[in-house]
Structures are given as C-alpha cells and as structure tokens.
Structure 1
Amino acid sequence: MKYGLLENGIDSLKQAYTCIEKLEAGLHEGVEHNLKDAILSLNHAIEILFKMILKNEKEYLIFSDIGKYMIAKNQMIKQGKQNVFEVGHDLKTVSLIEGVKRLELLCDISIPDILKGAIDDFNKTRNKLMHYELELSGDEVNLTIRNLKGFYGEAVSFLGKHVEDIEKLLDRARYEYSDEDYQSDMYEHYMDMQYDDHRENHYD
C-alpha cells in the first residue's frame, strides 16, 4: 500500500465533494458533521496537493526549515534511508498559507485571487473548528455551503492544471470493493459461464 501526497490529497478532495453533495441535497439531519467534514477535508486536500506541487519542483520547498531539511537529507544519504522523516523526526512541513506563498514566489505559479481569498477564509474557519469552536446562524450555514461549492470548483480547476487526470482520479477515489462483493461477482460470473456452456451444448 502506498499513500503518497497525491493519493492522500485526492482522497480528501473526494471526501469534501461527497459532503458538499450531501449538504446541497438539503439534509434534515447531519448538516453539522457534513459541513465540518467538508471544510476540514477540502482544506486538507488543498494543503497536501499544494505540497505535492512544491515537492515536484524541489522537495526542500515543502519544509518550513530548509536548514533542518538539509541536515536530515545528509543523514538520510549516509544511512541509506529512503525518506528524510526516517532521520529527521523534528522536521515540519509548511502551512497551507506558506505553501501558497512559495508556489507563487519561488515557483512562479500564479494562483487566482478568488482561490487565494477562499483559501484564506476557509483556513480561518478550519482553525476555529480545529482549535476552538464555530458558531453559524442558519443563513450563515447556507452561505458557507454555497461558498464551499465555489471553493471546491475553483480548487479543482486550478489543480487540474498541475495534477494529471484529476477527474479520473476523483472518480476512482474512495471506491470500496469488499470480499462479499467479490464473491458475489465471481458467483455471477460462474453462473454466466454455466449458462453459456448449457446453450452451446443445447444447440450443438
């Protein structure tokens, strides 16, 4: 199993989409947890996928302290490790807001103002959820849901320029195939084969 930046980010992006769809459907119950999950998942997805873009430019760009990264990278090479986190246990990656700055100023990647505004607004909302509390009126909930939908659309539009086949990846994300489903499909396949053999023998 590999759970890299791409897989991690796409998974959260799909989770955000699923929650936004539920919210748009007009839930009578479950608004609170779906709104929370949508906000946290969308922020997480963008942070992780922005880090992936930074890493694709230069790995060191995702680390807040490049000096510590260099020390860890040196130790990683000496010890024959595969990942800097195996030796640099105190390494920290950049925040979402810092990631935005590095993409624009160090990678010359332009981020639309409307997306940057949404990132800033929802990052503040996310921080309230993560570190304190969030209170919204009914009208504010409806506005937040509409803004989330717009935020998601802007994010996917931007990420689509940097993540190959993002729509296909989202379609496949969070697909679940249980043992029971597998056994059921195999049984149907076996029965189809039996039926085909019976027809061939009948018409021979």
Structure 2
Amino acid sequence: MKYGLLENGIDSLKQAYTCIEKLEAGLHEGVEHNLKDAILSLNHAIEILFKMILKNEKEYLIFSDIGKYMAAKNQMIKQGKQNVFEVGHDLKTVSLTEGVKRLELLCDLTIPDILKGAIDDFNKTRNKLMHFELELSEDEVNLTIRNLKGFYEEAVSFLGQHVENIEELLDKARFEYSDEDYQDEMYDHYEEMMYEEYREMMLERE
C-alpha cells in the first residue's frame, strides 16, 4: 500500500465534499460533526496537496528548516535509506500559511486572492476546533456552510491546474468494495461466461 501526499490529500478532499453535501441537504442531525469534519478535512486536503506541489518543485521546499533537511538527506544517503524521515526524526514540514507563501514567492505560482482569503479564514476556524472551541449562531452556521462550498470549489479549481485528473481521482476516492459487491460481480461474470459458452455451443450445432 502506498499512501503518498496525493492519495492523502485527495482522500481528505473527498471527505470534505461528502460532509458539505450532507450539510447542504439540510439534515437536522449531525450538523456539528459534519461541519467539523468538513472544515478539518478541507483544511488538511489543501495543506497536503500544496505540499505535494512544493515537493514536485523541490522536495526541500516542504521542510520548515532546510538546514535540518540537508543534514537528514546526507544521513539518508550514507545509510542507504529511502526517506529522510527515517533518519531525521525531528524534521517538521511547513504550515499551510507558509506553504502558500512558498508557492507564490519560490515557485512563482499565482494563488487567487479569494482562495487565499478563504484559506486564512478557515485556518483560523480550524485552529479553534483543534486547540480550543468553536461557537456559532444558527445564522453563522448557515453562512459557514455556504462559505465552505465556495472554498471547496475555489480549491478544486486551483488544484485542478496542478493535479492531473483531479475530478477522476475524487470520483474514485473513498470507494469501498464490499465482499457482497465482489460476490455479486463474480456471479454476474460467471453467468455471462456460461451464457457465452452456451451460445457458442448452439452456434456450433447449426
């Protein structure tokens, strides 16, 4: 199993979409956890996928302390390791805010102001959820849901310029194939095979 930055980010992006869909449906139950999951997942997705774009440019750009990264990279090569985290246990990657700056200033990417504003606003909301508490009135909840949808759409629009086939990846993300689904498909497969064998037999008799 490989769970790289792309897989990780797309998984969180799909989770955010699923939660936003539920919130837009106007369900009376589960608003709190769906709102929380949507905010955390969307924030996480953008942070991870921004890091992926940075890494694709130059791997060292995702690390907050480039000196520590260089030391870890040196040890990785000497020890024949595959990943700098195998030797650099104190390495830290950049925050979402820093990631935005590096994409613009070091990679010459233009991030739309509306997306940067949403990232800043929802990063503050995410920090309240992660480190303290969040209290919203009913009107504020409804506004947050609308803003989340806009945030998601802006994020996908921007990421689509840097992540190939993002819509297809989102469609496939979090797809779960149960034993029952497998058995049904195999039943249909064998039924079709038997039909084809019978048809060929009948054609041979003619």
Same fold by TM-score greater than 0.5: yes
Deviation, 1:192, is 2.4
Q: Distance in 1 between matches of 2:166 and 2:201?
A: 48
The CA RMSD measured in Å over matched residues stands at 1.1
Partner of 1:73: 73
- Cα deviation code 1:119-171 (max 9, x no counterpart): 00000000011111111111000000000000000000100111111111111
Q: Distance in 2 between matches of 1:131 and 1:68?
A: 27
Q: Distance in 2 between matches of 1:66 and 1:193?
A: 59
Q: Distance in 1 between matches of 2:190 and 2:154?
A: 46
Partner of 2:46: 46
- Cα deviation code 1:51-89 (max 9, x no counterpart): 000001111010001110010000000000000000000
Q: Distance in 1 between matches of 2:202 and 2:79?
A: 69
Gaps of 5+ in 1: none
Deviation, 1:198, is 3.5
Deviation, 1:191, is 1.8
Q: Distance in 2 between matches of 1:86 and 1:199?
A: 59
Q: Distance in 1 between matches of 2:42 and 2:124?
A: 13
User: Is 1:141 matched up with 2:127?
Assistant: no
Task: Give the fraction of aligned pairs with identical amino acids, expressed as a percent.
Answer: 88
Task: Work out the number of aligned pairs and report it.
Answer: 204
Q: Superposed, which structure 2 residues align to 1:30-179 within 5 Å? A: 30-179=30-179
- Cα deviation code 1:24-45 (max 9, x no counterpart): 1111101111110000000000
Gaps of 5+ in 2: none
Q: Distance in 1 between matches of 2:80 and 2:147?
A: 47
SS at match of 2:148: helix
Deviation, 1:183, is 1.8
Q: Distance in 2 between matches of 1:22 and 1:72?
A: 44
Deviation, 1:196, is 3.5
Which amino acid in the other structure matches residue 113 of structure 1? D
Q: Distance in 2 between matches of 1:58 and 1:192?
A: 51
User: Is 1:27 matched up with 2:34?
Assistant: no
SS at match of 1:107: coil
TM-score by length of 1: 0.97
- Which shows bigger deviation, 1-10 or 190-199? 190-199
Q: Distance in 1 between matches of 2:94 and 2:128?
A: 19
SS at match of 1:6: helix
Deviation, 1:193, is 2.2
SS at match of 1:3: coil
Q: Distance in 1 between matches of 2:42 and 2:151?
A: 9
